Amino acid sequence: MTGPMEREERKDFPARLYRLYERITLPFTIYFLLASDRIHDDYAMTTWRKMRLGYRMYRNTKKIWTGISYRAHLAMAVKLLELPPNFRGDVVECGCYRGGTTANLSLVCGIVDRHLYVYDSFEGLPDAVEGDEYASAMGNRFLAADIDQVKQHVAEHGDIGRCTFVKGWFKDTLPQHESPIAMAFLDVDYQSSLNDCIINLWPHLHDRGYVFIDEYVLSDFCALFYSERFWLEQFDRTPPGLFGGGSGVQVGHYWLGPFGGSSITGGSKSIAYTRKHFSGHWNFFPED
């Protein structure tokens, strides 16, 4: 028979093994994720600077809880580093919680000389909207974080001078956004919130700008980026599609899904993305 302590140790073994795996693979993960030959020379990203950035991002996710991993942060970082300095646009984050991703995005913004707009209610999730299958009264004010605490986290672990924090509900604040956008990261939980983000931010997105989402594990959220009705009615265009829908972009987690599943190499803490000029429209009908 095994005692309570031994059973607890066995239960914790996968978590401890994953932490070991993460530390062993850390330098290789940083090196290969930032190995793109499209990183612009003007940013002077030597191997040492890449490793330093990656390690700092990893360390930040251990100090501030984040919904995505440092690997996902690196995936967004490399896309910003690939954009030339004369590529116009700021970075926008919608839904920052405690500021872990904000801190890491601000570090990259410091390298590529871009500003980071951080939109959040700082009061948690909004009231449920009729028709939103993922919203409910039980979620009201869930994931609330004090704005001063978020600012403190970013000041301690990121580059707060790059940040503008905008407090309020997306439906009220996003219509006021004016500057061009090079990249947006949306971690918003509700269909209604994702709808608010795309409708109000997409028009400001650079023609080759990126939109990353956190809710890639849910097919209904991914479907927005393939909805011919939505894109025709809102923007008179075909849908852009989504890279990483369902399982996320491959950044070392080897997560196969579906939502709720996990493995020794980690859970669903990746991202998916699209780009304004992408196309996810099927138009091959030989019978026509």
3-state class (DSSP) for residue 2: coil
Instruction: Grade residue 8 by pLDDT with cuts at 50, 70 and 90.
Output: very low
Interval 40-85: pLDDT, tens: 999 999 999 999 999 999 999 999 999 899 999 999 999 999 999 9
3-state class (DSSP) for residue 94: strand
Task: Give the span between the Cα atoms of 272 and 216, in whole angstroms.
Answer: 6
User: Quick check: 168 and 121 in contact, CB under 8 A?
Assistant: yes
Instruction: Grade residue 14 by pLDDT with cuts at 50, 70 and 90.
Output: confident
3-state class (DSSP) for residue 140: strand
Q: Given a cut of 90, is residue 138 above it in pLDDT?
A: no
Give me the domains of the chain, ranges plus CATH numbers: 4-275 (3.40.50.150)
User: Quick check: 59 and 98 in contact, CB under 8 A?
Assistant: no
> What is the mean pLDDT of the segment spanning 113-141?
90
Interval 145-160: pLDDT, tens: 999 999 999 999 999 9
Q: What is the largest CA-CA distance in the chain?
A: 70
Task: Give the span between the Cα atoms of 82 and 66, in whole angstroms.
Answer: 24
Residue 48 is encoded by which pair of tokens? 């040492």
Q: What is the pTM of this model?
A: 0.92
116, β-bridge pairs: 91, 163
